[in-house]
A and B are shown apart, each in its own frame.
Chain A
Amino acid sequence: MTPAAALGAIGRATASGFGALGRFVAFGAQALGWALRPPLYWRETLTQLVLIGWLSLPVIGLTALFTGAALALQIHAGSSRFSAEFAVPSITAIGMVRELGPVLGGLMVAARVASSIAAEIATMKVSEQIDALRTLAVEPMQYLTVPRLLAATLAMPVLVAVGDAVGILGGWAVGVTRLGFESSAYLRNTLDFLEFWDVASGLVKAAVFGFLIALAGCHAGISAGRGAMGVGAATKSAVVLASVLILAANYLLTEAFFSA
């Protein structure tokens, strides 16, 4: 390949990437516009709250439990080098509620929910169900996208709050059984050092991640190509896009919330 051809390929890939980003942003703006117009399909929204929120609880709980436990062990290993083991409860709690709870919870929900939304909507597109909605006087953005966006945005903070509590519990279990902490002292140390904004910032992040997860899933589903391959590609791109967006948004939100 000549240098000119290589530059051309890079240019085309860059333009294509910006094009895709532009379409995604336009889709998000369109979805928000539809969210402001009546009617709200509240029955579909409640169904999605169950599918996205309630049914994600086990995976969030298990992820948080093991993460909190491992985090306590790591912090103990690090802090013991300079005799600061007393910081294990507070740093475990802060680490969970500010970062690991929302980010790992977001990634797990992205894997579970963005893929499922994308596959469902892509299959609906392939089997002409999206066209059928339009012929029945229902706007697909309003019927499919808005309930999922709303449900994911509302469910994620609740899921992450539960995950935070379970993660702290995981740290406490390891602290008490493996690291020699006294139970009530561990909990008191956790609560004394945890501030409102530590928890609230994580929950705000969670709401943003929930919105991005549902948006990535819906966008990939509605933009899906034809046939089984189109459904597969939509599912994959939904998970990849949602995961990258979560990590990027996490950095930006952390900068906004905590930079000096």
Chain B
Amino acid sequence: MIRVTDLSKRFGPKTVLDGVSFSLAKGESLVVIGSSGSGKSVLLKCLLGLERAEHGEVQIAGLRNPQPRAVAAQVGMLFQGAALFDSLPVWQNVAFRPMRGTGRMPRQQARDLAVDTLARVGLGPEVADLFPAELSGGMQKRVGLARAIVGDPPVLFFDEPTAGLDPIMSAVINALIRRIVTETGATALTITHDMRTLRDVADRVAMLHQGRFHWQGSAAEALTTEDTVMRQFTLGQVEGPIPTLR
């Protein structure tokens, strides 16, 4: 479903991605971990077509190096801060793609779809007419998740889905992601620092370090491996190969 070959991206003199390659089968859930500034978000933006890589190839659902508009038809994306549109009520945020993006769904039908999708992420219809600023961080994440899954796209991307949430709400969001990915059979790519997300969401884990996938394996292996980079990251150790001043 997703194949990335030798992807490289530089910002000025800094090489952020240095030949990243991986593939992801249909229905598989990959969690990418890595230290701050390691290029995880840049990788996601390259996959979405929001950043142009200097070298390499991205294939998503059969599309080679697609433009953002072509990717949008195949991919649902949950942003780190949810990135909800402040000026629109919740239901219009959720139904944004069918109303204004790939389709022109009638207003009432779009609202019904939004309310149904909100229910899938545990939110009642009373939330539909609220504005994003009236929601807690956890509710905003749920709405962002609803916007990502509306129309059941075959590929889902999650950028730091639990960032800024308390442990209980993090567990709720992780469980929702796992359930949705399993139910819809979507191929999922999640970027995170959160070890709980890694345990709850991943079929496979990849560690992005020095611009490449330094390590790949299962979630269980990720937590027990003797690899020094992985151990420093998963155990949160100050000493190790990952520099702390960056």
A-B complex is real: yes
Query: Who on chain A is nearest to B75 by CB?
Result: A135
Q: In angstroms, how far is the closest chain A Cβ from the Cβ of B82?
A: 9
Query: Who on chain B is nearest to A126 by CB?
Result: B81
Q: In angstroms, how far is the closest chain B Cβ from the Cβ of A120?
A: 8
Is B142's CB within 8 Å of the partner chain A? no
Assembly CA distance A240 to B79 (angstroms): 33
Is B15's CB within 8 Å of the partner chain A? no
List B77-113 residues whose CB lies under 8 Å from chain A: 77, 79-81, 83-87, 96-97, 100-102, 104
Question: Cβ of A143 and Cβ of B100 under 8 Å apart?
Answer: yes
From A47, A127, A143, give the contact of B83 (CB < 8 A): A127
B19 contact set on A, CB distance < 8 A? none
Is A138's CB within 8 Å of the partner chain B? yes
Assembly CA distance A137 to B147 (angstroms): 13
Question: Cβ of A135 and Cβ of B77 under 8 Å apart?
Answer: yes
Assembly CA distance A41 to B87 (angstroms): 15
> Which of B5-13, B53-61, B66-74, B169-177 faces chain A?
B66-74
List A112-142 residues whose CB lies under 8 Å from chain B: 123-124, 127-129, 131-132, 134-139
Assembly CA distance A134 to B49 (angstroms): 9
Interface size on A, residues (CB 8 A): 17
Question: Cβ of A129 and Cβ of B72 under 8 Å apart?
Answer: no
B71 contact set on A, CB distance < 8 A? 135
B79 contact set on A, CB distance < 8 A? 128, 131-132
Assembly CA distance A169 to B47 (angstroms): 61
Q: In angstroms, how far is the closest chain A Cβ from the Cβ of B101?
A: 4
Assembly CA distance A135 to B78 (angstroms): 10
Is B26's CB within 8 Å of the partner chain A? no
Is B48's CB within 8 Å of the partner chain A? yes
Question: Cβ of A128 and Cβ of B102 under 8 Å apart?
Answer: no
Query: Who on chain B is nearest to A41 by CB?
Result: B100
B119 contact set on A, CB distance < 8 A? none
Assembly CA distance A143 to B71 (angstroms): 18
Pairs of residues from A and B, 10 with the lowest C-beta to C-beta distance, nearest first: A137-B101, A137-B72, A132-B83, A128-B83, A134-B68, A135-B77, A136-B101, A136-B97, A137-B102, A128-B79
Is B135's CB within 8 Å of the partner chain A? no
Is B45's CB within 8 Å of the partner chain A? yes
- Residue from B75, B97, B101, B147 with most neighbouring chain A CB atoms (10 Å): B101
B-side interface residues toward A, CB under 8 Å? 45, 48-50, 68-69, 71-73, 75, 77, 79-81, 83-87, 96-97, 100-102, 104, 147
Assembly CA distance A224 to B73 (angstroms): 28
Question: Cβ of A138 and Cβ of B81 under 8 Å apart?
Answer: no
- What are 15 inter-chain pairs, A to B, with CB distance below 8 A? A41-B100, A124-B85, A131-B45, A132-B84, A134-B48, A134-B50, A134-B68, A135-B48, A135-B68, A135-B72, A135-B75, A136-B101, A137-B72, A138-B101, A143-B100
Assembly CA distance A127 to B133 (angstroms): 13
Question: Cβ of B69 and Cβ of A139 under 8 Å apart?
Answer: yes
Q: A134-B68, A136-B101, A139-B69 are in contact. Are A129 and B85 (CB under 8 A)?
A: yes
Question: Cβ of B45 and Cβ of A138 under 8 Å apart?
Answer: no
Question: Cβ of A129 and Cβ of B83 under 8 Å apart?
Answer: yes
A134 contact set on B, CB distance < 8 A? 48-50, 68-69, 72
Assembly CA distance A123 to B86 (angstroms): 10
Assembly CA distance A124 to B79 (angstroms): 13
Q: In angstroms, how far is the closest chain B Cβ from the Cβ of A242?
A: 22
A132 contact set on B, CB distance < 8 A? 77, 79, 83-85
Question: Cβ of A137 and Cβ of B73 under 8 Å apart?
Answer: yes
Assembly CA distance A39 to B49 (angstroms): 22
Q: In angstroms, how far is the closest chain A Cβ from the Cβ of B150?
A: 10
What 0/1 pattern do residues 131 to 169 of A give for CB contact below 8 A with B? Answer: 110111111000100000000000000000000000000
From B80, B87, B96, give the contact of A128 (CB < 8 A): B80
New contact pairs (10) apart from A129-B86, A132-B84, A134-B48, CB-CB < 8 Å: A128-B81, A129-B85, A131-B45, A132-B83, A135-B75, A135-B77, A136-B101, A137-B68, A137-B69, A137-B73
Assembly CA distance A136 to B76 (angstroms): 8
A137 contact set on B, CB distance < 8 A? 68-69, 72-73, 97, 101-102
